Amino acid sequence: QVQLVESGGGLVQAGDSLRLSCAASGRTFSNYAMGWFRQAPGKEREFVATISWSGGSTYYADAVKGRFTISRDNANNTVYLQMNSVKPEATAVYYCAARYYRMSSYRYEYDYWGQGTQVTVSS
C-alpha cells in the first residue's frame, strides 16, 4: 500500500503561483511514477502531469504545459506541482496518484490516490 496526502491548496488570484505537495508513505516511493490530476465540479478527473520514478522524465497536459512543473524528492518521499500564472479554469480538486514504475496520463492506470486538495483561482 502507498498512502498519499496532498497539501498546499487554497484560494489564489489569477496570475498567482501555488505549490502543491504530496507526501507518500508505505512502499518504496522511488519504485513509483507519480501523477497529478484534477477534477472540477461537474467534470471528469483529468490528467495534469506525470513524472518518472527517477524524476528524469516528465509529461504535461497541453493546458498546463509551460506554466506547471512537476518534480519529486525521493529522499523525502514527496512529489510537487508548481503552478505558475494560474487561471480561473484551474479551479479544481487536485489529486496526486502513484503508479508502479511506469508513467501514465491515464487515471485508470494508477494504483493509489490521495484525498485531494482544493485549488480555487479567482478572476
Q: What is the DSSP letter of 4?
A: E
Q: Tens of pLDDT along 13-26?
A: 999 999 999 999 98
CA distances, 86 to each of 2, 63, 91, 97 (Å):
29, 11, 9, 21
Res. 102 pLDDT band, cuts 50 70 90:
very high
- In a 10 Å sphere around its CB, with 0-12 CB exposed, 13-18 middle and 19+ buried, how is residue 17 labelled? exposed
- Is there a contact between 12 and 123 (Cβ–Cβ < 8 Å)? no
Q: Tens of pLDDT along 60-89?
A: 999 999 999 999 999 999 999 999 999 999
* Cα(13)–Cα(7) distance, integer angstroms: 18
Q: Tens of pLDDT along 19-53?
A: 999 999 988 999 999 999 999 999 999 999 999 99
C-alpha cell recorded at residue 92: 479544481
